[in-house]
Amino acid sequence: MRFPVDRMPVADAAACAYPDGCHAYDVQGASFCYGKSPVRESRWVLGDVSLHVESGEILGIVGPNGSGKTSLLKLLAKLAVPQRGTLSLFGRNLVDLSREEMARTVAFVPQESAPAFSFTVAETVLMGRYPHRRQSRWSLGFGWEDPEDCAAAAQAMATMDISHLASRAVTDLSGGERQRAMIARALAQTPRVLLLDEPTAFLDLQHQLEICSVLRRLSDEQGLTVVIVSHDLNLASQYCDRIVMLKEGSVYSMGTPSEVLSVEALRAVYGCEVLIDPHPESGLPRVTLPRQAVPFRS
């Protein structure tokens, strides 16, 4: 145990107003494309996607480039609205949730999102407190941090192991440190759902492992629901409770890693022959690339 996650604050009272026993997300028949409705049916980025995310689980979204993974995550974060279908968050329709309510419940970490200017790490993490801070009419937009904000931010930074970087400029950090700062920013929101787009893309092995273990622990101990978009099938297999595999904008298969990750499925979705054997520790499927690519079959 390296990270003191036991003290990580969970969602505030407002977020707990959701009824228990609901799925974190229910997505029904969601179709989405950028811009207005597409001319042809084949132009949908996501076509008729139905899935659910259970409360407190880690769900992995995998699939080849352009299969709509990031778009699906944006739908979940309400950064994009589907043209057809409905999404609900803990039993409430996403359309009915206000911006602030949404931001207090769901935190989103995009693929690359460093601030453009030399904010300190502490300032960046404290930005996550924005949806929790009261702003009076006369505060002229200032709104100083109160102890609760600082506590949540300090906790999030301890969880992500960046407390020692508090006064460093974000622009001076390494890629991995910056990514951890951005995840800490999301944790400072004290969300019930954490949405991550390729969180381990810029990280070295040690920090990949640590971030995944922290997410696992937050999910197990605090009931944090996590949705991860990842290219790394092995990380998804080891750390996700369930995996959704997308192919060309629709759900190809959904289930536990052992159910989803099979040689046949990967051949059908990625068009590529891979080797799959059980992981020596966990027995979960482990995907290995062959030495020689088998030519695409058209």
Partner 1 sequence: MMPSAGHSTSPAPALASPPLPSTSRHTSPPITGRERPFQGAILTPGRWCLIVGSLSVLALILAGVCLQLGTEYIGPGKLVGVFSSALFGQPTDNDALKTTGVILLQVRLPRVFLGFLVGVCLASVGVALQALLRNPLADPYVLGVSSGAALGVAVAVLFGIGTTVLAFSLLPVCGFLGGLVALLVVYRMAATYDRLPIHSVLLAGVILNAIFSALIMFITSIMEPNRSFGMMAWLMGSLTAPAYPALAALSVYLLAGLFLLFKQVRVLNILALGEEPARSLGIDTERAKRVIFLVSALLTGAVVSFSGMIGFIGMIIPHAVRLVIGADHRVLLPASALVGGIFLMVADTMARTFFVPSEVPVGIITALAGGPFFVYLLVWRKDRLA
186/233 with CB nearer partner 1? 186
**Site mask for partner 1 (CB under 8 A), range 98-117, x = bound:** -xx-xxx-xxxxx--x-xxx
216, 236 Cβ separation under 8 angstroms: no
Stretch that binds partner 1, among 160-168, 224-232, 237-245, 271-279 (CB under 8 A): 160-168
Q: Applying CB under 8 A, does 222 fall inside the site for partner 1?
A: no
Of the ranges 22-30, 55-63, 165-173, 248-256, which one interacts with partner 1 (CB under 8 A)?
165-173
Which stretch in 19-27, 150-158, 236-244, 288-296 sits in contact with partner 1 by CB under 8 A? 150-158
Classified as helix, coil or strand, 156 is: helix
**Of 198, 199, 202, nearest in space to 184 by CA:** 199
Contacts of 80 (CB under 8 A, 6+ apart): 32, 34, 71, 74
**Residues of span 119-148 touching partner 1 by CB under 8 A:** 119-124, 126-128, 130-131, 135, 140-148
Task: Return d(Cα 284, Cα 278) in angstroms, integer.
Answer: 5
CA-wise closest residue to 237 among 189, 288, 203: 288
Closest approach, Cβ 260 to partner 1, in A, equals 28
Check binding of 196 to partner 1 (CB under 8 A): no
Least distance from partner 1 to the Cβ atom of residue 85, Å: 21
Q: Determine, following the binding rule CB under 8 A, whether residue 293 of this chain makes contact with partner 1.
A: no
Task: Report residue 48: phi and psi, to 5°.
Answer: 55, 55
- Give 155 or 237: the residue with its C-beta nearer to partner 1: 155
Query: Closest separation between CB of residue 4 and partner 1, Å?
Result: 5
Q: CA dist 220 to 98, 129, 142, 232, Å?
A: 28, 24, 37, 22
